[in-house]
Amino acid sequence: RGGMAEVVGEYTVMCLFSRNWVLRDAALQKIEKMVEEEDFKGDAKENFRTHIRVIGKLLKDKVANVFNGALHLLSTVVQKYAPELGPKDTQSGVAELIPPLLEKMGDTNARLKDAA
């Protein structure tokens, strides 16, 4: 959680780990807005890795709204960081997300399965 807090803020991290899905979804939306506005300090590669870890956690969420938001955030993060990082770093980061996506494809929740 430490690296995440440095990138997105302590309160946002607390919301990401909340039991309340509405708070998780709100944190997701805040992070997406930060990515769109490029509101981050520090190394782009480290920020990208942190975002991938956040997305990986959210892709395991059982709430369809949070899962769908994580997919949208993934798209936004890749679009923002890929030009700067290049294909090798982008692919290696995104590769970490394949297992949770494959797991959701086998989910019995139709909304999650269709989104995956």
Residues 56-110 have pLDDT tens digits of 999 999 898 999 999 999 999 999 999 999 999 999 999 999 988 888 777 666 6
pTM of the predicted model as reported, rounded to 2 decimal places: 0.84
Q: 93: Cβ–Cβ under 8 A, 6 or more apart, which residues? A: 48, 49, 52, 85
Parent domain of 23 = 2-115
Phi, psi of 73 (to 5 degrees): -60, -40
Q: 23: Cβ–Cβ under 8 A, 6 or more apart, which residues? A: 15
Number of folded domains in the chain?
Answer: 1
Q: 55: Cβ–Cβ under 8 A, 6 or more apart, which residues? A: 70, 73, 74, 77, 97
* 113 neighbors 105 (Cβ within 8 angstroms): yes
* 64 neighbors 112 (Cβ within 8 angstroms): yes
Measure the CA–CA gap between 20 and 11, rounded to whole angstroms.
14
Measure the CA–CA gap between 51 and 87, rounded to whole angstroms.
17
The reported pLDDT for the residue numbered 105 is 74
